[in-house]
Each structure stands twice: as C-alpha cells, then as structure tokens.
Structure 1
Amino acid sequence: MPTHSPAHHEHEHGHRVAAAGQEFWDSRYRESERIWSGRPNSVLVREAGDLAPGRALDLGCGEGADAVWLAGRGWRVTGTDISPVALERAAGHAAEAGLADRIAFERHDLGQSFPAGEYDLVAACFLHSPGEMPRERILRTAAAAVAPGGVLLVAGHGGPAPGAENPHPELHFPTPEEVLAGLELPEDGWEVLVCAEHERVGAEADRPGHGYDNTLKLRRLP
C-alpha cells in the first residue's frame, strides 16, 4: 500500500488493498495516469527470479508490474486489488506486453474475500494501508493458499531510518519475525528461507519515506 508520495518511487512497491476502501484507492489512482514506475518490485525479482514458474497470486497488484513480470517469466498469474481503476490499468499493461492470456485480474477487498485455489507462489509485497486493515489475517489466508512445495513471499516496510522522522506514526510496520509469528504456522509444515531486515541500497535508497524494508520467504513442505 502506498504510505508516502508516489511521484518519486523507483519500483511499484505500493501494493494496494483493504482498509482505506475502494473509493479512497480509486481516487488515489485517478490522481495520475500512472502512479508507479511500471517496474517490478526488486524483492520479487530477487526472491522469485530462480523459482520454476507455475501458478502465482499477486496480492494488491496495483497497476500490474509484478504480475506482468511474473507472466513474462512463464507464470500463470492471478492479480488482485481493491481498486477497479488499478485493475483496468493493470489489464491494459498486460495487454500491451502481450501477456493478457497469462494473467487474470480479480477485484477483492482481501479483508472480505480472497481468490480461490492454490498457488505455487503467493506474493504480498508492501501490503500496508492507512487505517485499520486485518493484515495478519490476510497473510494467514495467503499462507493457506500456498500449494505444497510452494512459496509465500511477504515484503514490507520495516520503519524509518534511525534518527529519521516517521511520516506515518499511525502505521505499525512489523519486523519479519513479527510477521512470521503472526502467521501462526506449524513448525513442521514450513521451511523459513529468508527472514531479514535490510537497509535500502542503490536507487531504492533515494525513495522517500521508510529507510528499512524486510523480507519473509517461506516454503510450504510437501
């Protein structure tokens, strides 16, 4: 979810769902013909680039950059967002890329409904929103949608850089360990591949807002 001005975002990191509501996010998208860069999230590229393609679910797909990237690598993708405006743009970008037949876009308020089926990859990148959002419950539902042998990838803002002003003090940005605990997964059913916080580097270091991100990557055991 976007938590600060999108004008300078390097990546399409603000995956959008839930609590602020459809009207809020439709209005947000109508502010500009394109809010995000059109490039996939770097954490998705890094953590999913070596996965064998199968069925993928992109939670809060926004304008579709992650979904298009996955489809271009051979995945069959379901992308979901609360905003019909975002989904219309995402479908247009998929068509422009010649990948419309590999991506199905569905509207969901993930606190109320969730795509059906099991997936080899479920990605929830920067699933933050102003206001109240049942993020832990959504992520538990996401984990349940991972097929045996599949991967759950959760990326989030970790908080502001040390000494920096927090532009959104009302939002709680959990550590990866907190995200893992909140999933309430059986220890014998999952393998933790990545559970780490990292400072932004390169182009992402210039992004306004929070200076630390975190990644949780889990594999569901067969």
Structure 2
Amino acid sequence: MDVGCGTGRDALFFARHGCRVVGVDASPVAVELCLRRRDELGLSDRAAFVCDEVGSASLSETLRAHLNGGPVVVYARFFLHAIDEEAEASFIKIASELVCERSILAVEFRTHRDSMLRKETPGHFRRYIEPARLVARLGASGLQVDYLVEGFGYAKYRADDAHTARLVCTRAAAA
C-alpha cells in the first residue's frame, strides 16, 4: 500500500516488479494519472488506485477490501512531512490497524534538521519531523521501530539534498 502515491512512480515500480499494489492519494488528478499510467503499462491486474483522504472514516475499510488480509507493506515516501499532525495521527492509526504479523510499515520523511536548508521546490507545505518523537508516537500505537537511519544522500532532487529519515516498523511483541 503506497500512501500519498502522487504520480504513482513508486507504486508502479513495485507493480512492474511483481507486487500487488494499492496506491492512495487525496488528489483526483493524481489518481487519474496513476490509472492512465497503470493501463498504459498493462498493470491493471497488479495495481489499484484509490482517491481518499488519509483521515476519512472509510479509508481503512476500503484498503482492507483491496488487501485481502495477510501480510502487507504500508509504504509512505515523502508523505508524513507533507501532512499536518492530525492527518499524521490518522495515518498512524490506519498503519497500526493494517500492520499485523509479517507486515511492515516503511516511511521516509524530512527531519527537523532539514528545516533551514535550501529547497528546490520552496512553495510546498512541509513539516519537519523529529525522528525520536515519531518513534514514540509509533510505539504508543503498538508499532516498534526495527530500522532507523537518517542523513543526507537518501532523497536528492536536483540541488536539493534533503536531510531525511527512513524507518521500518513491525507490530510490537505482546508484553
């Protein structure tokens, strides 16, 4: 599941490599583009795209219908820092519901260390997230961070070398 899939670049990459993917984005224009690109690539059997807000009451149920149970990867690249804290809380709630045994949550986001750096696209809304605080919020939702790395070189775009963090979570073991 690619949350905040935008143009579908990552979702379609995964589908081309054999994964069954559900992309989610709040923009109807983005979802329409994803559907056209999916059909042009002949991936309609591997990729579905849903237009919905991460905070909507129906999203979790819609995603469950597409995912057919079993293990899942909830993937969000450059999504968390593009939404407000309320939407982040909704995202974490959905992720904690979907990440069951053998499932993972994988996210990449701009850290607080990126806030003063030059941006190639300066007009975008961005929050700068302190990784330790996000780890605490994930932990409070029953997820444990198994991998965390942060630094430069992970998300270069033209002259923009964002200070980003990547983390992978699983369901926390029962106490």
- Normalising by structure 2, we get a TM-score of 0.76
Determine helix, strand or coil for the equivalent of 1:101: coil
2:148 to 195, 201, 205: 195
Contact 1:148 1:221 in 2 (8 A): no
Match of 2:7 in 1: 63
Corresponding residue pairs, total = 161
Q: Quick one: structure 1 residues 200 and 85, their matched pair in 2 at CA, closer, same or farther if it must change by over 3 Å?
A: same
Aligned to 1:89: 33
CA distance in 2, matches of 1:199, 1:126: 14
C-alpha RMSD of matched pairs (Å): 2.9
Residue of structure 2 in register with 1:176 after alignment: 131
Whether 1:219 and 2:174 are equivalent positions in the alignment is: no
Distance 1:181 1:160, change over 3 A: closer
Three-state SS of the structure 1 residue aligned to 2:156 is helix
Which deviates more, 117-126 or 153-162?
153-162
Selected match of 2:63 from 116, 128, 146:
116
CA distance in 1, matches of 2:102, 2:86: 29
TM-score (norm 1): 0.62
Which residue number in structure 2 is paired with residue 75 of structure 1? 19
Gaps of 5+ in 2: none
Alpha-carbon shift at residue 146 of structure 1 (Å):
1.7
Give the distance between the partners of 2:114 and 2:7, measured in 1 at CA. Answer: 28
Q: CA deviation at 1:165?
A: 5.6
Report how far residue 185 of structure 1 moved: 3.4
Q: Which whole-Å deviations, capped at 9, do the CAs of 1:71-106 have from their partners, x for residues lacking one? A: 112111111111111001011111122212211111
- The change in CA–CA distance for 1:200 and 1:101 in structure 2 (over 3 A counts) is same
Who is 1:126 aligned against? 78
Alignment of 1:131-146 (within 5 A): 133-146=86-99
Q: Against the structure 1 CA distance between its residues 221 and 151, is the aligned structure 2 distance closer, same or farther, given a 3 Å change threshold?
A: same
